Amino acid sequence: QVQLVESGGGLVQPGGSLRLSCAVSGMTLYMYPIGWYRQVPGNQRELVALFASGASPNYVDSVKGRFTISRDNAKNTMYLQMNSLEPEDTAVYYCHAHIRGTQYWGQGTQVTVSS
């Protein structure tokens, strides 16, 4: 059974950094599309960064140059390094995988950017 477990969220001041982790079990990390989404209450869930079928990851424009998605295949863990955080980055961040037509989500981790 596929399980995605996020960690690393918290409260950070504007300009600060956080690193989110997504521990994956029940699937091989590099074989399927996997990425990070975020959601603010009242809004739709938004794609933040994604490892799709190509070699290079994709990012939403608002985080380009600030966020970096990476993965450690040996640990079966995906990361999101978030730098230069802004209040607009405040959201619940979710790990997501798409395997043979089925979508899997983690439970989410709250990121709050505030002074």
The overall average pLDDT reported for the chain is 94
Residue 73 and residue 29 in contact, taking contact as beta carbons nearer than 8 Å: yes
For every residue of 74-109, DSSP letters joined together read TTTEEEEEE-S--GGG-EEEEEEEEETTEEEE---E
pLDDT tens-digit readout, 23-34: 999 988 888 899
Tell me which residues of the chain have a pLDDT lower than 70: 53-54
Q: How far is CA 85 from the centre of its chain?
A: 14
Residue 69 and residue 35 in contact, taking contact as beta carbons nearer than 8 Å: yes
Cα–Cα–Cα angle for 54, 99, 83, rounded to 5 degrees: 55
